[in-house]
Amino acid sequence: MQINISQEGEKIKKEFEEAPAEKKQIIDSELRQDIVTGDWVVIATGRAKRPEDFSRAEYSTQKLADHLDSDGCLFCDPKESGQEKDVLIYSKSDGDWTLKVFPNKYPAFSRGKVPRSLEEGPYFAMTGTGYHEVIVSRDHFKHIPDLEIIEVAEIIDAFQDRYLELMKKKSVNYITIFHNFGKEAGASIAHPHSQLIAIPVISPYIKQELDGAELYYKSLRKCVYCEMAEYEGMAKKRIVFENETFIAFCPFASRSAFEIWIMPKKHNSYFERITDEEKIKLAEVLKNSLGAIKKTINNTPYNFYIHTSPCDGKDYRRYHWHIEILPHTSTWAGFELETGIEISMIQPEEAARALRENLNNN
């Protein structure tokens, strides 16, 4: 693992050294690598705070305030609030917009073509070059479970559109798409929105999944995710919702209470290759899954994110893209932080049963 990471670092360093001077931009974000595990950490200096800022009460109450009404909402009128120019906009026939995508005003990664090596002693780091965008729905009060299926499909379509555009960028090797609902889940603005971050490195979690899928195939000549989807569809114990194209279920080894995975039944390694028909089917499953969470556990905060193959040009045919939904039902304490082993306080079979009971009540 360390050998591969070192090679990755050398490649990035070489690309920077060979780049024209005008492309060596000053970046306000850093990617630092753990010298022991090889994991990456983002130091978002563009969002930098002084040490004393973290002790101020207003840091947690004002900066992370959840504005439940639309007064003063930054996303109800992005142009008026000083957001950057839209990179994608969907409009109705009367000209009013229904969805907008624009660069994050306070990005975790800074736009640029070539990452720059930042070495210190035995450590390796590089500038946090990438793209950070926000996908915003028009209605301030309607979250994904409250939307029509076609409106959810529009969000998925925007995910695909921006993915296809950004995967062409030289500095991009992986694109993550995620959605935070609720302050405890990291949503600093209540207005419904998702985010997309395109980065030059592959996350350790995705690397672990890629390696696991490859190892399973080499051992049994089968896709591990197809095996999961097929068994869950047959056993029925952990299914939350399904249609002919996608299945939503509580994983056998759920990391948190009421965790849900959404997975295409047909093997597909790449989210960006989703068809228009599949977007409608996915929208139906996503809406119902989030609606069941909303009803079952009292609108608790959650995150969902798309896990898909990297866009670095390599072959990932053994992988199987999927969506993971993680409700915030507990807080990590010493055991979880020290071991990385999460504690879920309900059997996934019981969680799935409760979620199924609330499918028609959202």
Q: Check: CB of residue 263 under 8 Å from CB of residue 256.
A: no
Q: How far apart are CA 275 and CA 284, in angstroms?
A: 14
Q: Check: CB of residue 323 under 8 Å from CB of residue 305.
A: yes
- Residue with token string 């909402």: 73
**pLDDT greater than 70 at residue 85:** yes
pLDDT of residue 10: 55
35-60: per-residue pLDDT in tens?
888 888 888 866 555 555 545 444 33
Radius of gyration of the chain (CA): 21
302-348: per-residue pLDDT in tens?
999 999 999 999 999 999 999 999 999 888 778 877 777 778 889 99
Q: Check: CB of residue 109 under 8 Å from CB of residue 128.
A: yes
Q: How far is CA 229 from CA 51, 171, 247, 248, 316, in A?
A: 47, 34, 7, 9, 19
pLDDT of residue 29: 80
282-295: per-residue pLDDT in tens?
999 999 999 999 99
- Which CATH code of 3.40.50.1100, 3.40.50.20, 3.30.428.10, 2.60.120.260 fits the domain covering 205-361? 3.30.428.10
Query: Taking the domains of the chain in order of start, what are their residue ranges?
Result: 1-44+112-125, 205-361
Kindly report the pTM of this predicted structure: 0.86
Q: What is the largest CA-CA distance in the chain?
A: 61
With CA atoms as reference, report the closest residue to 115 among 18, 210, 194. 18
Q: How far apart are CA 141 and CA 88, in angstroms?
A: 22
Instruction: Note the residue count of the chain.
Output: 362
206-251: per-residue pLDDT in tens?
999 999 999 999 999 999 999 999 999 999 999 999 999 999 999 9
Tally of CB atoms within 10 A around 274: 21
Three-state SS annotation for 296-338: HCCCCCEEEEEECCCCCCCCCCCCCCEEEEEECCCCCCHHHHH
Q: How far is CA 259 from CA 23, 224, 250, 352, in A?
A: 43, 19, 6, 9
1-40: per-residue pLDDT in tens?
333 444 555 554 455 455 444 444 444 788 888 888 888 8
188-218: per-residue pLDDT in tens?
899 999 999 999 999 889 999 999 999 999 9
Q: Is beta strand 88-91 parallel, antiparallel or unpaired with respect to 174-181?
A: unpaired
Which of 75-79, 110-114, 309-313, 341-345 reaches the highest mean pLDDT?
Answer: 309-313
Give me the catalytic one of 140, 179, 191, 193.
193
Clarify whether 132 is annotated catalytic.
no
Tally of CB atoms within 10 A around 319: 26
